[in-house]
Amino acid sequence: MGILRKRVVVLGGDGIGPEVCQEGVRVLKAVAERFGHEFIFDHQLMGACAIDATGDPLPEKTLAACWQADAVLLGAIGDPKYDNNPAAKVRPEQGLLKLRKSLGLYANIRPVTAYDRLLEHSPLKKDRIQGVDMLIFRELTGGIYFGEKGRTGDGAAFDQCTYTREEIARVAHRAFHAAENRRQKLTLVDKANVLETSRLWREVVQEIAPQYPGVVVDYLFVDNAAMQLILNPRQFDVLLTENMFGDILSDEASVIAGSLGLLPSASVGDQIALFEPIHGSFPQAKGKGIANPIATILSAAMLLEHFGLQAEADCVKEAVDNALERGVLTPELTSGVPYTTEQVGSFIAYGVLDLQDCQLHRSNIEVGLSTII
């Protein structure tokens, strides 16, 4: 792969979003420096910060910039002033959902890995989680999050869940394709014993399955799947599911890795792709330097893979592994003296630049912040 020039829109968002994004960008800048690429970063508003500035959680200017970009890197959105006010009509999450829908990002891919160095840290037993390596395919632009919602005259509320065959088929094809290139197993998670939409999911997946003869398909109801994920997570290779189930199960699966701050994701459609940690804006941590930036940095690695830069992505992943191995960890992952968000990001950026020798000293990391990247 030759030298690339790419435009990346950065949506820091709210809470810890801008802090973790800064580290994702730092690592991408290190990649550009090491491999000679040019990445142009265009920072735009989305979420509560956009409501504050413009009244709109997804301003037209932001959406237009995303369409102009080669990829989007997102931190997280959300603010307690909306979470704690159910009557608010304009909400940060509307911006995120509209962005996903507008950009056609129908497949959200969430890898879940058990890192050897962190096995002891997970509350789950080591012998259950060692070797876990699964991909969750979450449908991202349909289902109950996008259905008609409202209040009835008698004060009740409703949220409608709808799926079309096409919405199911396009994400299912991507999941089957991924399974073909992995351990050739696909598990569809649904609630087909109760929900009509889930029965449609099974129907469509059963129709598609013969096109992927090497892939073994099995089916789990979501309640059982929630249990199996912590009882025997190694059984999963590719897990395919609808929007809300995927949202919930992937947060649960992060306990296998050891922290929600470790899980990255790619949201892809037929035109553009967006990369974001699976976590939210963790508002309690804003400005404290305690947020784990690794989920965002690994999302940046997925962005590099999307650009076809596999060696560069591998370099980032190796630098992340090295940080974990050497105990360069944010507070939720250590009982020792933790590193800050910036220090972890800088350590990983140093790793990318192959400047490992001067890394471990906190003072060097801090010097590096101002001098190297």
Ligand X SMILES: NC(=O)C1=CN([C@@H]2O[C@H](COP(=O)(O)OP(=O)(O)OC[C@H]3O[C@@H](n4cnc5c(N)ncnc54)[C@H](O)[C@@H]3O)[C@@H](O)[C@H]2O)C=CC1
Binding residues for Mg(2+): 223, 247, 251
**238-241 vs 185-190, strand pairing mode:** parallel
The residues that bridge with 42 in the sheet, in sequence order, are 9
Active-site pick, 82, 106, 145, 212: 145
We find the least distance from the C-beta atom of residue 119 to ligand X, in angstroms, to be: 18
C-alpha–C-alpha distance, residues 24 and 62, integer Å:
19
Which partner in ligand COI, Mg ion, ligand X, none is near 260 (CB below 5 to 8 A by kind)? ligand X
Calculated CA dihedral for residues 309, 315, 316, 319, nearest 10 degrees: 180
Q: Using an 8 Å Cβ cutoff, are 233 and 240 in contact?
A: no
Q: Which residue in 106, 163, 282, 350 binds ligand X (CB under 6 A)?
A: 282
- Interface with Mg ion by CB under 5 A: which residues? 247
Residue 111 is given by DSSP the state E
Question: Considering only residues 96, 140, 192, 303, which one is a binding residue for ligand X as defined by CB under 6 A?
Answer: 96
Q: How far is CA 353 from the centre of its chain?
A: 25
In the complex, the smallest distance separating the C-beta of residue 250 from Mg ion, rounded to whole angstroms, is 7
Closer residue to ligand X in complex, CB, 111/280: 280
Active site residue 251: yes
- Which residue is it, tokens 């509350």? 123
CB 316 within 8 Å of CB 46 = no
- What is the nearest approach in angstroms of ligand COI to the Cβ of residue 147? 13
Q: Which of 42, 52, 70, 93 touches ligand X by CB under 6 A?
A: 93
Touching ligand X, residues 232-261 (CB under 6 A): 259-261
Residue of 98, 101, 185, 191 marked catalytic: 191
Is 70 catalytic? The answer is no
305 near ligand COI, judged by CB under 6 A:
no
Q: Of the listed 70, 251, 286, 321, which one is catalytic?
A: 251
Told to judge if 247 belongs to the known catalytic residues of this protein, a careful annotator would answer: yes
Scanning residues 286 to 315, which ones bind ligand X (CB under 6 A)? 291-292, 295
Q: Judged by CB under 6 A, which of 52, 321, 332, 366 binds ligand X?
A: 332
Conformation bin of residue 52: beta by default, left when phi > 0, alpha when psi is -120 to 50: alpha
Greatest Cα-to-Cα distance within the chain, rounded to the nearest angstrom:
68
What gap in Å lies between CA 233 and CA 226, rounded to an integer?
Answer: 10
Site for ligand COI, residues 51 to 110, rule: CB under 6 A = 93, 96
Q: Is residue 278 within the footprint of ligand COI (CB under 6 A)?
A: yes
Beta carbon nearer to ligand X, 59 or 280 = 280
For residue 195 the two structure tokens come to 């929900």
d(CA 252, CA 246): 10
Of positions 31, 32, 72, 77, contacts ligand X by CB under 6 A: 77
CB of 16 to ligand COI, least distance (A): 14
Cα 187 from Cα 218, distance rounded (Å) = 5
- For 358-368, letters b (16+ CB in 10 Å) and e give ebeeeebbeeb
CA–CA distance, 47 with 288 (Å, rounded to integer): 20
- Tell me if 12 contacts ligand X by CB under 6 A: no
Distance of closest approach, residue 122 Cβ to Mg ion, in angstroms: 19
**Footprint of ligand X on residues 16-35 (CB under 6 A)?**
16, 20
354 is catalytic: no
Q: Is 247 in the site for ligand COI (CB under 6 A)?
A: yes
Sheet with strand 5-13: strands edge to edge: 38-43, 5-13, 71-76, 273-275, 266-268, 107-113, 133-139, 238-241, 185-190, 216-221
Question: Which residues contribute to the site for ligand COI (CB under 6 A)?
Answer: 93, 96, 145, 247, 278
Query: Which residues are catalytic, by number?
Result: 145, 191, 223, 247, 251
